[in-house]
Homo-oligomer: A and B are copies of this chain.
């Protein structure tokens, strides 16, 4: 049976990942990322990769899912930011 805390973790994963999507969309749509700091997203990207390693160590499905998807999203923002600078 799935632990209630795993469900809380999964909801957390969906929410924080979802919160990232509009930023990616806006950056792509407006072809602009003026208000977003590149340094911020690179720092965040490295942090997310480390969270992913930590999550794999903890065998935490919510952490692995959330950080895999968020890493891809953060990378997309970095690419947009560099492309539409």
Chain A interface residues toward B at CB < 8 A: 5, 8-9, 11-20, 22-23, 26, 34-37, 39-41, 43-44, 46-48, 50-51, 53-54, 57-58, 60, 62
Contacts and interface: CB of A to CB of B under 8 A. Distances in A.
Number of chain copies forming the complex: 2
Given A22-B40, A35-B26, A54-B62, A46 B8 contact: no
B43 A18 contact: yes
B51 A39 contact: no
A37 B36 CA distance: 12
Contacts of A54: 5, 8-9, 12, 62
B37 A22 contact: yes
> Most B CB atoms within 10 A — which of A5, A15, A48?
A15
